[in-house]
Amino acid sequence: MTLPDAEQMLAALADRMRGAVAFDARFVGIHSGGAWVADRLAQMIPGDHPVGYIDVSFYRDDFNRKGLKPEVKRTEIPFEVEGATIVLVDDVLYTGRSVRAAIHELFDYGRPQRVELAVLVDRGGRELPIEATYAGTRLAVAEALSIVLSRTAEDRLVLATEPAGGENPAGNPHA
């Protein structure tokens, strides 16, 4: 399967967000792919957008079934969440479980005024009632495949598919 260029999808996502995102919205990227996308979006969207990072490993409802990721990242939210507009950023939205876990963890830091969701790819297949506010693209992909985002040494984003249950180079499963 040939996937669209991730850099073009990032540009499309930024175009959709420009003028719609609050000038002082804070971006929180879900490790690892969402963190990469959040960093890039913060540079592309006009305004003052500090960036934080969240690792949902301990908040996933399938933790007992899937176990811990090989490399747990540190959650870093260097700004006040209470009363803020937060744009949660992820690379691929599929079942909604990572986003649910991220919202759960985010509320441990305070109660935001609003939470919006920006994703590079919305592939459908939701198991929870979660919808992206902004999406770079929507793709239909066989259930047996995962869409994974990687980053080159030149900081270029690249999408690929792999058998479901596998892991991308960042150790970020999307099953």
Residue 170 lies in a domain: no
Cα atoms found within 13 Å of the Cα of residue 112, Cβ hemisphere only = 24
Q: Residue 95 domain-assigned? A: yes
The pTM for the full model equals 0.89
Residue 168, in any domain of the structure: no
Q: What is the DSSP letter of 48?
A: -
- Element containing residue 17 per DSSP (H, E): helix 6-17
In a domain, 124, yes or no: yes
Across all residues in the chain, what is the average pLDDT?
90
Residue 43 structural domain: 6-60+70-143
**Cα Rg of the chain, angstroms:** 15
Minimum mean pLDDT among 26-30, 71-75, 108-112, 133-137: which range?
Answer: 71-75
**Domain assignment present for 35:** yes
Place of tokens 């259930």: 143
Residue 148 domain-assigned (yes or no): no
Across the range 85-112, mean pLDDT stands at 96
Scan for tokens 């990032």, then name that residue: 10
Mean pLDDT, to the nearest integer, of 112-122?
98
In a domain, 174, yes or no: no
Structural domains counted in the chain: 1
Element of type H or E holding 151: strand 145-151
Residue 105 lies in a domain: yes
| pLDDT tens digits for range 62-91 | 655 555 555 778 999 999 999 999 999 999
Say whether pLDDT at 27 is over 60. yes
CATH number of the domain at 76, please. Answer: 3.40.50.2020
pLDDT at 167: 46
Q: Choose the weakest-confidence range: 4-8, 55-59, 119-123.
A: 55-59
Segment 47-51 mean pLDDT? 97
